[in-house]
Amino acid sequence: MRIDVIGRNLEITAAIRSHAETKAQKLPKFYDGVQSIRFTIAKIDHQHKGAFDVELVVDVEKHDDFVSHCKSEDVYGAIDEVVHKGSRQLAEFKEKLKIEKR
């Protein structure tokens, strides 16, 4: 599984990258067909202390990509929130597949 962390108007530090990769490792337990995960972290305001927009794209087999967004002033909190949203999407999709097979 490939995990990409991309920064827009922001330099991705080793701490941000490791935090995102650690959180992304939890996503395949919700659905086994995860092929790749991409975080796009953008700094919205060009001020010293601005807001961050985090986008999570989870590529799964036999389905369109799952996309989650979150805006926050804390980049780590935004990563946590967007991973939570993505995990919920994957869990709901897995439950939907289970119901359809019955």
pLDDT bin (cut points 50, 70, 90) of residue 1 is confident
pLDDT bin (cut points 50, 70, 90) of residue 6 is very high
The two three-digit tokens of residue 21, written as one number: 């990769």
Of 15, 22, 29, 35, which Cα lies nearest the Cα of 75? 15
| Residue pLDDT, tens place only, 37-82 | 999 999 987 766 779 999 999 999 888 999 999 999 999 999 999 9
Cβ within 8 Å of residue 32, ≥6 positions away: none
Q: What span, in angstroms and rounded, lies between the C-alpha atoms of 13 and 46?
A: 18
- Classify domain 2-101 at the CATH superfamily level: Ribosome hibernation promotion factor-like (3.30.160.100)
